[in-house]
Amino acid sequence: MGWENIFRRRVRVFTMALVIYFDYKAVQQREKWTSKSGHAALWEKAHERNAKRVLNLILEMEGLWVKLGQYMSTRADVLPLAYTRLLKLLQDSLPPRPLEEVYGTIQKELGKSMDEIFSDFVNEPLATASIAQVHRATLLNGKEVVVKVQHDGIKAVILEDLKNAKSIVDWIAWAEPQYNFNPMIDEWCKEAPKELDFNHEAENTRTVAKNLGCRNQSDRNMNANRVDVLIPDVIQSTEKVLVLEYMDGIRLNDLESLEAFGVDKQKIVEEITRAYAHQIYVDGFFNGDPHPGNFLVSKEFPHRPILLDFGLTKKLSSTFKQALAKMFLSSVEGDFVALLSALAEMGLKLRVDLPEQTMEVVTVFFRATTQANESYKTRKSLADQRTKNMKAIQEKMNLDQKEMKRFNPVDAFPGDIVIFGRVLNLLRGLSATMNVHIVYMDIMKPFAESVLSGYINKGPSVNDRWIFDSPVHSDVEAKLRQLLIELGKNDKVLGIQVCAYKDGEVIIDTAAGVLGKYDPRPVKSDSLFPVFSVTKGITSGMMHWLVDNGKLNLGENVANIWPGFGSNGKDAIKVHHVLNHTSGLHNAMTDITRENPLLMSDWDECLNHICKSVPETEPGKEQFYHYLSFGWLCGGIIEHASGKKFQEILEEAIVRPLHIEGEMYVGIPPGVESRLAALTVDTDDLRKLSGLTGRPDLPSSFQPQQIAQLATTLPALFNTLHARRAIIPAANGHLSARALARYYAALADGGKIPPPHSSASQPVLGSHPHTPKLFSSKKAPKNRKCFGRKELILPSTDNNPTGYEQVSSVEDLQDNSEGSSTNKDSNPRTRAAGKFFKNPKVIDEFLGVGEYENLALPGEGFGLGFKRFSSKDGSSIAFGHSGMGGSTGFCDVTHRFSIAITLNKMSFGGVTGKIVQLVCSELNIPVPDDFLRFAIEQGGPDEQLNMARPLIN
């Protein structure tokens, strides 16, 4: 290509880019002076004239610009109709090259005359594309083939076009910094030249055909993951000529022929998507150019996709392929922690601590397809979401408009993901063009799971580090670890922590397994587990702490403390009714959670709902488990009685006195994401639970069948950062077993703070430098008639700051060993032990016995906020609280014993029961009935008996 041609192409391309840019800028200005009813027409005309400009330029320039036009033509899901309609003409419909050029290339490359190669050669090309054109022919042996012939001089054109495209992208990034496409163009510049060597394409074609186990291949590969597609055999190849087996098929854009042959378009696109899922997740080697021109549909029944053109392929490393599968699956499950870990493994670095938006971005990435007629709605939705995200970033980082325009939240963008993203977008556009609806997550999930099956599910049988490497404190801990290994081998444990105190000393502190189904990082002593209703035991302790400090009276009417609560017949409800689950508001939150579970994260909305609720039974008469309402009832009382926030009281009453900083939260702050365990469900237990009959002690809206239904949805909800951030005082505790065991060890001694936790535990308990700063983005309105919060005046000192600390980054997730154990000296372990309850009869208060028995219903399961645990011989005083899924914490006052178990594979008592039974039996402590019933081997009639009362409270 001469310099004159190079200069001419550059001038034409840059001139057209400027014309289109300023045209759209002018439309933006005219829109301000046009009525809303005229906006659509204004933009439609602009899209039409600019689409024509783009098409004419591409037809003139050819080369790489045809590729760009083909890509744009497939994006019917997001591009205006004018572009996709006009640019479809570029799908193998370019003007053909002269036959003299075609013949010359073939004869030069193959070293023979046309008559020595073909018995017949069809001069009219089947298709003409950006790099080559294809002719049908018959070899001398009678085999029908297609001959792909590279355009003469196209290599120089493509390389020049890449330079021009790079320059335009650089200019756009300067003029409109929020549209920086440099990572995409850089990867394209690296990969596109590979298409110019047809030997490379021939080898790629053979590899993909073998990987997919296509039926027409000679090796007859029939592996279990084979997909039902066809790929032509390679007959011969050189750098510029490729001879392939001829396959008669219908083009995807020939909708009339597809209809005439009775082709199921939905099935075809699904099978193409499956083929790409196999290439990406199983093989790690995929075609990066799935535009409609690269597919046919076989005419004979069953109609199968025919995959063509493997010039642009991408090979992924095993590590990147696993990270890609992990990213996909974590987004499906809503497992935010695994998602950030996967992004870090892929090399994607974000510059801001807005990790909640990362899940939104990835969810958009894997969103289901939309049809072409919904493209405007899709574009608007994506634009609105982007505006919302960028506004949040601006507020978070305190950037002005100029700084925001130049801000890019992505610090490093891995090249491998660029082609992957291009493939997903092309497939999405293909679906829109054919007006079918594809749910990528459903189709791709099995393939992604197969990648990780040997990578993630490494239980104790194959992982000698499954038990976290920490000292064994006692003989009973050694036996416990053997039990955990047995449970792990039977797939009953994914990740778990167990900690126990006896006579004020730590006798067990064990962690084992992994943080999540798709997160193979090890569980450590300081990992944070969501524990559901175990949280109620912590909230109850806060209530009693306020009583102990004279801020609250058990016999006081709640309405006297909490303005507006007394409406709708609630004026007679007292504090002890709430703690004893006898307020009559056991179903108070049912409606709000059914209508929109996300409202559980809105503190004020939930307290308002409590205010408006109506009791179902007379206060103090009947005890029904307040499975959700308990938390917000207590939360509202705590904040109104103390004049402080719920989290502030948690820190003041429990966390700081017990020196468990960084390991007990109700609603996590930023900075701890890398330590979070992710929930999954034990499907065997769930199946058993769903078939059980009702329990009279539970509310009508919280019977076993409803619990089973909840268990299927709660992991996905509570794995999201949105839910984890929420203050849900009945269900959203995130803590370590050692923090919980220490809490109950203190309660067992009437509030006496135990000696420092074992220094053998690493990192040292309470050594985390992160301390949550109390912050609310919304100010409480004044003069509220029935709202959750009073207007609170919060101290603003160094010891009691007023905003959440922001210390996390994606890189933190790559630190699997030392990161969370830094700053050990910050733990003041020389602090003298004391008591955080002054009442000498506080244990009677917890249990609702002795002088407090008139405040609790006799013979019922709950005292004042805590579950009473009874043993067969009645020799022990024990109390605590368990949560749905199996986590638990309780203490035996008689034997000065406490234990906590946290786990992330939600079962309904079996695992927890066996652990408690082993530990108690080894220590000669009576096993509470709540756990004893799970200790026997399940099977036959006993199985139904044991499951009849699943461990949920």
CA distances from 574 to 414, 563, 571 (A): 59, 14, 8
Q: Give yes or no: 289 in active site.
A: yes
**DSSP character string of 233-255:** PEEEE-SSEEEEE---EEETT-H
Q: How many Cβ atoms from other residues are within 10 Å of residue 938's Cβ? A: 18
**DSSP character string of 565-611:** TTTTTTTT-BHHHHHTT-SS-TTTTHHHHHH-GGGGG-HHHHHHHHH
Q: Is the dihedral of CA 651, 652, 656, 660 positive or negative?
A: negative
Distant-in-sequence, close-in-space partners of 712: CB < 8 Å, separation ≥ 6:
681, 686
Length of the chain: 953
Write b or e for each residue in 491-512: b if 16 or more Cβ atoms lie within 10 A of its Cβ, otherwise e. Answer: ebbbbbbbbbbbebebbbbbbb
The backbone region for 203, taken as left when phi is positive above 0, alpha when psi lies in -120 to 50, beta otherwise, is alpha
Write b or e for each residue in 260-297: b if 16 or more Cβ atoms lie within 10 A of its Cβ, otherwise e. Answer: eeebebeebbbbbbbbbbbbbbbbbbbbbbbbbbbbbb
For residue 328, give the DSSP letter.
Answer: H
C-alpha to C-alpha distance for 141 and 275, rounded to whole angstroms: 32
Residue 156 main-chain phi, psi, to 5 deg: -65, -40
For residue 294, give the DSSP letter.
Answer: G
Q: Is the dihedral of CA 731, 737, 738, 741 positive or negative?
A: positive
| Amino acid at position 197, single letter | D
C-alpha to C-alpha distance for 67 and 568, rounded to whole angstroms: 68
- Give the CA count within 13 Å in the CB-facing half-sphere of 909: 25
Starting at the edge strand found earlier in the chain, the sheet holding 529-530 runs 529-530, 733-735, 664-666
| CA-based nearest residue to 953, from 625, 729, 691, 479 | 625
Distant-in-sequence, close-in-space partners of 41: CB < 8 Å, separation ≥ 6:
none
The burial class, CB within 10 Å (0-12 / 13-18 / 19+), for 770 is middle
The burial class, CB within 10 Å (0-12 / 13-18 / 19+), for 891 is buried
| CA-based nearest residue to 738, from 524, 907, 425 | 524
C-alpha to C-alpha distance for 464 and 479, rounded to whole angstroms: 17
Residue tagged active-site, from 289, 548, 844, 892: 289
| CA-based nearest residue to 787, from 651, 632, 665, 649 | 632
| Amino acid at position 776, single letter | S
Distant-in-sequence, close-in-space partners of 70: CB < 8 Å, separation ≥ 6:
87, 90, 91, 130, 291, 293
| CA-based nearest residue to 881, from 757, 661, 746, 731 | 731
Which residue pairs from 168-172 have beta carbons closer than 8 angstroms and sit at least 24 positions apart in sequence?
168/13, 168/14, 168/17, 171/17
| CA-based nearest residue to 722, from 268, 356, 176, 386 | 356
Catalytic residues: 289
